[in-house]
Every structure is written in structure tokens, then in C-alpha cells.
Structure 1
Amino acid sequence: MFRKFCCFSIIALFSGLLANAQQYYLFVGSYNRDKDKDGVYLYRFNYNTGALQPVSALKGILNPSFLTLSPDGKYIYACSEAQTPNIGGVSSLAFDSTKETLTLLSRQNSGGDNPAYVGTDKDGKWLLCANYSGGSLSIFPLLEDGQIAPSKQVIAFQDSSVLPRQRSSHIHSAVFSPDGQYAFFPDLGADKIRGYKLVPAAAEPLQPATPPYTATVPGAGPRHIIFHPKLPYAYCIEEMGGMVSCYKYKAGKLDSLQRISAHLQGPANDYNSADIHISPDGRFLYASTRESANTIFIYAINQQKGTLKQIGQESSRGRHPRNFMIDPTGKFLLVANQNSGNIVVFKRNQQTGLLTATGIEVKLLNPSSLQMRAYH
């Protein structure tokens, strides 16, 4: 009787573990140059080894250069950086984790040329879009079935700054604050981080914050902004200046704390810095710089002051690391090297923050955006 009980207990325990087992999936956006070619790719990710296994790919979207996931992981939103006037768009996809399939659901015009970034609020009710060439931002209601409704508001800017690339506004990312009450839009062309308060019931749901923008150093070219997962700080990678700027954040306001290097070579007008992310535990920040550097810069975050100290540099093992991500466990960092066409997996030391190449990489044409999530 005891043996039978033990056997049943072991079987029940094993079944329970299987039921709770998680499968991690990596979603990759790319520049396919043709909507009839694969543009969004799906991989299984082994969170113990870092291995990637291809599953499927989806056609039907031109240059899905940036992806973001809905908070529940059911839907993927993509911007179509068409590189053709008047056809920029945002699309939604459904992901079935049981069948491991992606399905195109809806598309809307983005409200400006060459959308470069999309972001959702924490409740999955709103989609933000940054139109780079159009110098505009837009906001869309999200429906419960994953469809994107027509834009509720499009705001265009006529602004400029000091360098040739800054003759007009270039909105480069669109990010909600952690509480979802504010949205921020780095404007590379104007050297401003624009801020808005979300007023869902209003006819125009984005209302200028106080102040309406935070000015950066002239020629900085703010690109991507992120918020600390636990502390009241924000960090912006400056594409042209090759720096990371740190800010104290409170109720829609960014107060400058520090500006620290994210480049290798000497003085230049454009270092082509790209992406920025924080480890899940909030202890380390990573930033990528493209062109001749092709480097991931590693920083320790002061947990009391929010300031950064550079502690390491790691080659991206490819050319043009446009985008990278840290997996949800914090064990690995994956880099999308757009021009060399490879995604490289690094092991991340969770105590020191430093990176070690695992030797794992996949070849893929023009990878430009990585997103990952675990599914039961």
C-alpha cells in the first residue's frame, strides 16, 4: 500500500510540474523589404541553456522593425517601417502558444512615415506609436480581441536642433510610465523628451505634461527611454551623443541626475547608439552602440542615487546591434545584430552583471527587434 501511495504521489507531483512547466518564446521582428517575405519569426528558447529553436514565421507585414507584446502575451503589436511615403502602419498579431502559431489580426495607418517604435500601457488598453520620419506620435485604443482601433490622436511636431540630422523632429520611441499615467516620446531631431499625461476619457487622450518636455544636451539625439523596475528613475540612450542620461522621475517630470559615456572612439557628431535595458533585479543597465563600436556597455546602478558606473564592455559579436533584450529569468542577454544578420546569446552573471558569449547564435536576415515571454 505504501509503495502504491508513493508511486501515485510521485506521478501526481510530476504531472503537476509538467502542468506548471513554462515554455519561453522569442519573437523577432526584421526588415524583410517585402511583405510577401517572412518578417516576424518565432523561436523556442531554452531558459536553462540559452538554446534557440526555430518554430515558424509570418508574412504579410512590410518591415516589422519593432515589436511589443500585450501585457497578457496574447497579442504582438508591430510597426511597419515601410521606408516608403504615406504607408507607415501598425499591426496586431495573435499568438496561440498551444499551436505555436502567429496570425495577422489588424492594421491601421500609423499617422506618419516610418514608425520606429510601439508601446502599450500596463493594462493593454492603449497602443503608442513613434513616427520617426513623420516627426509625429499617435495613440490607438486596443480592443479586447487584439484588434487595433483607428488612431484617437496624432500629434505632429515642427522642431529642430543643431546637427544636420536634426533639421526636423524625429520621434524615436513611445513609452508609458510604470503607473501608466504618463507617456514619454524622445525626439531625436529636437533634442527633447516629450511628456504627456494620459486622460482616457478625453477626446484627445494625450494632454501635455508639466513640463511638456525635458530638454537634452544639444546634439544628443535622445532615442530610447526606459524606467527602473523598482525605483523612481528613468534612463535615456542618446543616439548621436553616444551617452546615457539618468533622470529622477516623479509624476510626469524628469530631473537630470547624470550623463555617462556609451561609446568607444573619440569625439564624433554621431556615435549611433541604439538600445537600452535594465536587468530584472534592477541592479544593472546595458546599452548598445552600433557602427564601428558594435558594443554592449554594462553599468552598475546605484540603488540609492539611481546613478550609473560603467563596469564592462562586450562586443556584440556582429554588426549594428540595433536591439537587444534580457530574458525574463535574467540569465541571458540576446542581441539582434541587424547588418550581420545574427542573433547572439550571452550568459549574464547575475551577481556581477558581466556577459560571456555562449557560442549560441542564429542567422536571420536583418533582425531588428526581440521580445520574449514565458507561457504555460
Structure 2
Amino acid sequence: MKKQVFFAFITLFLSIMATAQNYYLYTGTYTKGSKDGIYIFRISVPSGQTTLVDIVKDIENPSYLAVSKDGRFMYAVSEMASDHKGMIYAFQLDPQTGKAQFLNKKESRGEAPCYISISENRKWIAVGNYSGGNLIAYAIDKDGKLTDQYQLVHHEGKGINPRRQEKPHVHSTVFTPDNKHLLVPDLGTDKVMIYSFNEKKNLPIGGTQQGFAKITDGSGPRHLDFHPNGKWVYVIEEMGGTISGWKFNNGTMEKFQHIDAHPENYQGSRGSADIHISPDGKFLYASNRYEANNLAIFSIDAKTGMLKLVGFQDLPGKKPRNFVIDPTGQLLLVANQDSDSITVFQRNQETGLLQVVPVDIKAGSPVCLKFVPAGK
């Protein structure tokens, strides 16, 4: 009997090892005080076991990162204080070691750059300057460097909250799945700006007939995520603590749902941060900061895109910012800004519910997480 149990355990262990996949986890941070820069970990999925590989220290406040689809290049904003110029850094990634080699840097031409994304074919990056109220696109050369070719787009207007919405505050810049449009949530104006995008042009960002999608007044749109089918897009609204669902079709957005991302009768402060959909398109997750300090979990109706609340997952860390789901959909990792930690959850892919994995990942003020497959 003992022999049978032993062989069953060995078979299970070998099965897990055979299906295990290794990734590098790149972690953007705030570097105030004695905090470091970009942490690079090697992580095994599904175990969540993690090893620190390196720390990129010569960069201030690398609060948001983007990695090219081929995993060869990484771009980071340097979210400077208002009396400094924001910067954008380019790195080449080593698929064998995970380490990042500095290539070059350019000014973001706006204060407090807070978000960066890369076009489908790695021809351009798009950066949102939160305090500057503008966005910038830089062309990328074949070696991954940022060139001198750029386009700067300024937003205008304000919202109903005089303290938070006194002017435009660009909070993210997201290329659509077909690479033909750029969606830009502006917390200050309660709009998601809809731009056309043509990577072959010297000035790739253009106008569209609709121009923008109007978000509920005072809600403060922050981030958004597309469903894998490309037909639905979901916007997390920071100030309202709510989510809006939209039908997306060739540069137009039509709202079909507006739902609270907080528990019923919640009376605390609202500060929703990030939003992501599971790779299979069945579940949506949203992070809530402050007293809520949780992840909201919703199921997605496969026919209509409508969200239905599944529940809330409390967090052992403090102030969840960005989070990420691994490409296989097995793990969900949360960056806890105020507890200098990253929480690892195992995802039940049938129910969408989460269970904490007992691993200890430390990083100073982590606010952004990106997965990249590790080279063999």
C-alpha cells in the first residue's frame, strides 16, 4: 500500500513538473526613500515559487512597464514629481537570464507619466502623462530604441470634481486588439478618448467620428481591458469605484452596463485601480484600494458580455494597485504598494475564486507587474 502511495505521489509530482512553466516577472515600483527600481523575478507556474534575479536601480519611480509581444524589449515610464521632467526608458531583455540592458531614454514631454503600451508590431509606444494631461507616441527602431520621431496630443476640459478633475488627467493609453485605434481614459474629463491609429504614418494618432465615450460624471476613468473576443471593453472608474461595459466596433463605443465594484452598502473611500479579464474570457477582476482593499470578481456572460458579481477577495497586503493573471490563467498576482509585497493567488478556473499561495515575494512599493516567458 505504501509503495502504491509513493508511486502515485511521484507520478503526480512528475506530472506537475512536466506542465510547470517558468516566467520572468518584471515589477515596476515607486522609489521613494530607500526603495529600489525594477525588480526582476523568476517565477514557476503553477507553484508560484519565486526567485529574485536582478534589480534595475538607475531609474526613478518606474511605476508602469510594457513588454513587447516577442518578449525582447521592455519600456518603462519614470513618473517624476511635478517639478521634474517625466522620462521613458527602453531596455533589451535577455530571455535566458531575464536581465534588462538599458538602451536609451527620452522625455515624456509631460508631467507624471503613469502608463505605457506598445503597438502590436513594436513600431510605436504610447505614454499617458497624468499631471501633464497629454499623451505622447514615440517611434521605435528595429533595435528597440526610442527614436526622435514622436507625436504629442493634448487633452482639454475638466470634470465636476474641482479637487480631482480641475484639468485633464490622462491615466492610460491602450491599443485596440486590431491595432487600428488607441483608447485613452482621462480621469480629469470623464471621457475615454477614441483615436485612430496608423503605425505607417509619421503622425500615427488621428481623430475618429465618435471622438470619445462619455463616462458617468465624477467617476474618473482609469484603466480598461478588452475581452478576448475584441467586441467588449470594460473600464474601471477610479473615483466612482465602478465598472462600465461597452460594445466596441471599429472605433465606436456603446455602453451596455454600469456596475458597482464594491460591496453593497460600502461606506468607505473609493479608489479602484486596475482591471483584467481571465485568458479564457470567463471572469473579470478589479482591484480596490483604501478601506475596501480587495479584488472584485465578476463572471462574464458569454453571449451578452454582462457582468455578474461572484464575490470579493480580501487581500493580506495593503493598497492593491496593478495585478496580473499569468498567460495560462492559473495564477493571479497583486502588487501591494503600501506593504512592499506581492500576493500570489491560485485561480479556480471554473468558479473564478481565488486562494492565497503561501509564498513570500518582497519588493519596495510595487505598483506594476508583467509576465514574460523564460527562455529554456
> TM-score normalised to the size of structure 1?
0.91
Identity %, equivalent residues: 39
Output the CA distance in 1 between the equivalents of 2:202 and 2:98. Answer: 38
Residue 205 of structure 1 pairs with residue 229 of structure 2: no
Output the CA distance in 1 between the equivalents of 2:198 and 2:121. Answer: 14
Deviation at 1:199, TM superposition (A): 2.6
* C-alpha contact (below 8 Å) 1:275/1:324 kept by paired residues: yes
Deviation at 1:230, TM superposition (A): 2.1
* C-alpha contact (below 8 Å) 2:82/2:111 kept by paired residues: yes
Output the CA distance in 1 between the equivalents of 2:56 and 2:179. Answer: 31
String of CA shifts for 1:74-130, please: whole Å, max 9, x gaps: 111101111242410111111112233211111111120000000011111110000
Deviation at 1:268, TM superposition (A): 6.8
Deviation at 1:22, TM superposition (A): 5.0
Partner of 1:139: 137
Unaligned 5+ segments in structure 1 are: 1-16
Output the CA distance in 1 between the equivalents of 2:346 and 2:323. Answer: 13
Partner of 1:239: 238
Output the CA distance in 1 between the equivalents of 2:84 and 2:149. Answer: 15
String of CA shifts for 1:2-54, please: whole Å, max 9, x gaps: xxxxxxxxxxxxxxx99x995311100101137x9630111111103111111
Deviation at 1:255, TM superposition (A): 0.4
Unaligned 5+ segments in structure 2 are: 1-16
Residue 308 of structure 1 pairs with residue 307 of structure 2: yes
* C-alpha contact (below 8 Å) 1:237/1:274 kept by paired residues: yes
* C-alpha contact (below 8 Å) 1:86/1:112 kept by paired residues: no
Letter in 2 for 1:48: P
Deviates more, 1:360-369 or 1:70-79: 360-369
Partner of 1:321: 320
Output the CA distance in 1 between the equivalents of 2:335 and 2:30. Answer: 12
Q: 1:362 to 1:99 in 2, by over 3 A?
A: closer
CA RMSD in angstroms, aligned pairs only: 2.0
Letter in 1 for 2:37: G
* C-alpha contact (below 8 Å) 1:327/1:372 kept by paired residues: yes
* C-alpha contact (below 8 Å) 2:21/2:44 kept by paired residues: no
Output the CA distance in 2 between the equivalents of 1:208 and 1:268. Answer: 40
* C-alpha contact (below 8 Å) 1:80/1:115 kept by paired residues: yes
* C-alpha contact (below 8 Å) 2:332/2:345 kept by paired residues: yes
Q: How does 1:77-156 map to 2 (within 5 A)?
A: 77-156=75-154
* Large movers: runs of 4+ above 4 Å: 265-270
Output the CA distance in 2 between the equivalents of 1:269 and 1:204. Answer: 44
Residue 165 of structure 1 pairs with residue 164 of structure 2: yes
> TM-score normalised to the size of structure 2?
0.91
* C-alpha contact (below 8 Å) 1:239/1:270 kept by paired residues: no
- SS of structure 2 residue aligned to 1:339: helix
* C-alpha contact (below 8 Å) 1:105/1:147 kept by paired residues: yes
Letter in 2 for 1:155: V
Partner of 1:285: 284
